[in-house]
Amino acid sequence: MNDPLDQAAKDLGTRPEAAERTARELVRRNPADPRPRLILASALRRLGRAGEALPLLIELARAYPKAARTRYELGLALCAVGRAGEGEQQLDAAVALDPNHAEAWAAIADRAFARGDAEAERRARAALARLDAGHPELGRAAELVALGRHGEADPILRRFCLANPNHAEAARLMAACHVANRTVHAAETLLRHALTIEPGSARIRFDLAHALFAARLAEQALAELAPLLAAEPANPAYLNLQAACLGLLGDDRAAEAINAELAAAFPENASVAVNHGHAARTAGLRDKAIAAYRRATQLSPKAGEAWWGLANLKIGAMGESDEAQMRALLAGSLPDDDRMRIEYALGRRLEDAGEAGEAFAHYARGAALARAKFGGETRDYAAEAEAVTALYSAEFLAARAGQGAADDAPIFVVGLPRSGSTLVEQILASHPAIEGTMELPYIGSLVGRIEREGGPARIAAASPEELRGWGEEYLARTQVHRRLGRARFIDKMPNNFRHIGLIRLILPNARIVDVRRNPMAACFSGYKQLFAEGQEFSYDLGDLGAYYRQYLAIVRHFHAAAPGAVHTLVYEDLVEDTEGEVRRLLDAVGLPFDPATLRFFENDRAVRTVSSEQVRQPIYRAGLDQWRKFEPFLAPLSQALGDAREGWRA
């Protein structure tokens, strides 16, 4: 026969009402025993009657001040009745008394998330990770991963995985290091292996969904998330990833709605407010975006991402009081990530105010921090361009002409970021036969796979069937973005200019539009822009000039090697003669002129790039020579561009 006390304790999780009845009877029989009183208090809290539990718990805590379980229950009860500060102190006391109290650490993490204290949440998650690992060495690695110190965790995990190849948790942690290092294909392999060992693990499945999202495989990520959301529909981590996946697939209104729900559920979390701001901006909900970013700056004045979100709207959303607050923040102590973003935001504010010199100084400081964060090792862009042009000779392309997938639906818009590609996309997407999607990652992911399989040699050896298969794979993966069922669609990944040759092989009937802008204007516009990821070349003026020359060399090569394969549209010409250039553009992609393309600013489609607000306005000339105010500071860029500064149109 079960001991009544043990049975009451077991009933707490699933049958708290039964636990209450048993505990009351045990208290009646032996009022001096603290154990049934603690179970009774816990049952009352779980039944939503924390107010009744409090007197019991306060009395127990006075009588037994070193009882960690009592402090834990008291902390939760105090939080439940609205005394969060006192409750969190009791939770901290619980883990101080018992550092292995996993439930208390979990409660601390949840409370920290609710109030937006990322550092406290990270520490609590790290403690939980250590406890969950069940092995000292693995526990240390798990703690490091939770703290974001993947470089330190990596060697520990490699040793452990070699010795324990079928340890699911070790594989999961090693996969987290791969995601941090952007070797996502390796992470997916490890996580799928871990799931064969522990198929019921929600944690492994969530990490797999996250890795798939990192690889831009949003549909697959959502499929892995589905059972997790079915089991825990209110889990904020699951909902956040679901919203991100929907955004990647172009369902921006649904993504915004989820972020709005999270913002309402966690009104004190600045990061949640920032995410809502980003989602609202993408969905074209400008006022909502501003309100969300403002909310974040109120909750966490040092939240650099919120300040940059406001600045990045590019609509003069900030004023003198914001400038004063940002100056004060930069004068104090800030984490590098926040300082980086606030430097850029203040630079934007000062540029809008006409203070070019001081604005540039802040842009430069922000760029130096960004270069350190994202990596800025020197690359030989000229050699990279030579490798592309050497492989894709006119003879090489001619010998493989027509071997890829025959579909003519894709329109690739390429060029440098900040050269007008978003405007061209918006114009094209206003045509009734063309659907705008986003900067699709699929050519880049295909290139990554080919590089792992041998790079240029792999492309040179590809059979007609393989080329067609690669093209069909691209078309299949892009299908989810074609929500309107139009005949043509746009892939606006600017850096695809490096892959024009591969595009010609696998999709010979696709149209490629190169959007070109004055290099001083394009490069400086990129320099003062903090990108979400990638574009490491943009944080150094010399690298920008070298990158522009690489771009120019590659596009010019394909004009010569495959005449007619690329249509170059000069942004400045589009501004001066909009209708003429739009007509030529549509002719180049094989479609008749439609007046709607001249009213592109009336198109309410979601726009995901940093130009989202600008393309919702008619074309204006004001931005053409904006860079000239900064020319005294751009000598390194001018020098790196060399003859491309004047000969870029050719």
Distances (CA, A) of 279 to 150, 272, 275: 29, 11, 6
* Cβ atoms of residues 539 and 374 within 8 Å: yes
User: Could you tell me if 571 and 420 are in contact, meaning their C-beta atoms sit under 8 angstroms apart?
Assistant: yes
| pLDDT at res. 604 | 65
Nearest Cα to Cα of residue 76 among 131, 12, 146:
12
pLDDT at 408 over 60: yes
What DSSP string runs through 41-110? HHHHHHTT-HHHHHHHHHHHHHH-TT-HHHHHHHHHHHHHTT-HHHHHHHHHHHHHH-TT-HHHHHHHHH
Calpha distance 462→538 (Å, rounded): 34
Instruction: Tell which residue, 561, 575, 559, has the closest CA to residue 513.
Output: 559
Do residues 366 and 341 touch, judged by C-beta distance below 8 A? yes
Share of the chain above pLDDT 90, in %: 89
φ/ψ of residue 415, rounded to 5: 145, -165
Kindly report, residue by residue over 551-607, the tens digit of the pLDDT: 999 999 999 999 999 999 999 999 999 999 999 999 999 999 999 999 998 876 555
Torsion of Cα atoms, 560 then 564 then 566 then 571, to 10°: 100
Judge contact between 340 and 370, C-beta under 8 A: yes
pLDDT of 623 strictly over 90: no
Q: What angle do CA 526, 531, 536 make, to 5 degrees?
A: 75
Determine how many CB atoms are found less than 10 A away from the CB of residue 450: 18
Stretch among 178-187, 228-237, 371-380 having the lowest mean pLDDT? 371-380
pLDDT class of 3 with cuts at 50, 70, 90: confident
Question: Which amino acid appears at position 128 of this protein?
Answer: L
Mean per-residue pLDDT, 172-200: 96
Token duo for residue 621:
């000339």
DSSP conformation class of 285:
-
Tell me how far apart the alpha carbons of residues 215 and 230 are, in angstroms, rounded to a whole number. 24
Average pLDDT score over residue span 80-108: 96
Both structure tokens of 330: 């930069």
C-alpha dihedral sign at 551, 553, 555, 558:
negative
**3-state secondary structure (DSSP) of residue 408:** coil
Q: Which of 611, 313, 608 is CA-nearest to residue 481? A: 608
68 in Cβ contact with 97 (< 8 Å): yes
Contact status, residue 280 vs residue 255, Cβ threshold 8 Å: no
At residue 237, the pLDDT reads: 96
Whether the full predicted model's pTM is greater than 0.95, yes or no, is no
**Which residues does residue 512 pair with via DSSP β-bridges, in sequence order?**
412, 566
DSSP line for 525-552: HHHT---SS--GGGGSHHHHHHHHHHHH
CA 258 distance to own-chain centroid: 16
Q: Which region, left, alpha or beta, applies to residue 73 given φ > 0 means left and ψ of -120 to 50 means alpha? A: alpha
d(CA 73, CA 94): 9
| Cα distance between residue 637 and residue 633, in whole Å | 9
pLDDT band at 624 (very low <50, low <70, confident <90, very high): confident
Q: Tens digits of per-residue pLDDT, 371-402?
A: 999 876 678 999 999 999 999 999 999 999 99
- Asked whether the predicted pLDDT for residue 174 surpasses 90, the reply is yes
Residue 609 has pLDDT above 70, yes or no: no
pLDDT at 607: 54
Which one-letter amino acid corresponds to residue 448?
A: G
**pLDDT for 430-460, tens place per residue?**
999 999 998 999 999 999 999 999 999 999 9
Q: Phi/psi at 305 (nearest 5 deg)? A: -65, -30
SS3 516: strand
Range scoring the smallest mean pLDDT among 153-167, 267-281, 297-311, 523-537: 523-537
Please give the Cα distance from 333 to 339 (Å, whole number).
9
Mean pLDDT, range 140-157, rounded to an integer: 96
Q: Could you write out the DSSP letters of every residue in 378-417?
A: ---HHHHHHHHHHHS-HHHHHHTTT-S-----EEEEEE-T
User: Which helix (DSSP H) or strand (DSSP E) does residue 145 occupy?
Assistant: helix 136-146
> Residue 436: enclosing H or E segment and its boundaries?
strand 434-438
Token pair for 71: 């402090």
Q: How confident is the model at residue 616 (pLDDT cuts 50, 70, 90)?
A: very low
The percent of residues in the chain predicted with pLDDT above 70, rounded, is 96
Distance CA 393, CA 414 (A): 20
Q: Is the pLDDT of residue 336 over 60?
A: yes
How far apart (Å, rounded) are the C-alpha atoms in residues 242 and 221? 8
Characterize the bridge pairing of strands 434-438 and 410-415: unpaired
What's the pLDDT at 620?
65
Exposed / middle / buried, residue 90 (Cβ in 10 Å: 0-12, 13-18, 19+): buried
Cβ count near 357 (within 10 Å): 11
Average pLDDT over all residues of the chain: 94
Query: How far apart, in whole angstroms, are the C-alpha atoms of residue 104 and residue 75?
Result: 9
Rounded Cα distance between 291 and 277, Å, is 8
Give the Cα separation of 297 and 304 in Å (integer): 8
Q: Which pLDDT score, from 0 to 100, does residue 374 have?
A: 87
- Give all domains of the chain, ordered by start, each with its CATH number: 301-374 (no CATH), 387-647 (3.40.50.300)
The span from the CA of 334 to the CA of 346, in Å, is 15
Question: Does residue 258 surpass a pLDDT of 50?
Answer: yes
Q: Which two tokens stand for residue 348?
A: 């934007």
pLDDT in tens, 504-544: 999 999 999 999 999 999 999 999 999 987 789 999 999 99
Contacts of 82 (CB under 8 A, 6+ apart): none
Span 228-257, average pLDDT: 95
Under DSSP, is residue 359 helix (H, G, I), strand (E, B) or coil? helix
**pLDDT at position 612:** 45
